[in-house]
Amino acid sequence: MATLDEVKNVFKDADAVCFDVDSTLIEDESIDELAKFCGVGDQVKELTNKAMGGQMSYKETLEARLDLIKPSRDTMERFNKENPPRFTKGVEDLVRKLKSLGVAIYLVTGGFTSIVRSFAKVLGIPATNIFANKLLFDYDGNYVTFDDREPTCSTGGKPRVMSILKERHGYKRLVMIGDGATDMEACPPADAFIGFGGNQIRNKVQEGAKWFVTDFQELIAVLDS
């Protein structure tokens, strides 16, 4: 079992860092914001909390939430236009720092590719470094379902992404940063997990993470030490 110092050392020498998106990279849970945009905010937020707290499988809650929201292609376009990302304080500085050190950065999320791409573009993260869920529409642009071939659509998906990255690129010091139970379960195969509570504190993560931070400046300080 890794110690706090061991986790910090892995992070300091990381060759790749994966960020969760909702309540980590950004302040909000984007699926909750999309639900509010579509008039079903309260019902969907309750399901999100169950997923993040580890009380339901992610795939179960994803299917249930999308059945409530039913986002069309047009709705997604309008949502992105009217809801620019609210990045978590300090995360843009941390991403710049990691990039200056030659660290590969990935966004690994149960959120939606069509939303996450806009965040990645602002941060200069290539679209190929996004692992997220793809919405499927019919010919008229109505929501049909989600692509269940994406690993991030189900519980255990984030560990699978870590394995994929290690197999493809041979990373030896791969770090996952996130606020939820689905992020914590990515380690292993990730070599270290950093729990983040700057937007939402999940008790399961706070208790289970060897390194739990509430401010990204704590991570920058370790890189600078």
**3-class state of residue 15 by DSSP:** coil
Q: Please give the structure tokens belonging to residue 130.
A: 């996004």
DSSP β-ladder status, 143-146 and 135-137: antiparallel
Which stretch of DSSP H or E encloses residue 58? helix 58-69
**3-class state of residue 9 by DSSP:** helix
Active site residue 67: no
Cβ neighbours, 10 Å, residue 124: 11
| Residue 209: closest CA among 196, 190, 221 | 196
How many CA atoms within 13 Å lie on the side-chain side of 66? Answer: 24
Active site residue 20: yes
The alpha carbon of residue 77 and the mean position of all alpha carbons in its chain are separated, in whole angstroms, by: 21
The residue count of the chain comes to 225
Q: Please give the structure tokens belonging to residue 161.
A: 């992404």
Where in the sequence numbering do the catalytic residues fall? Answer: 20, 22
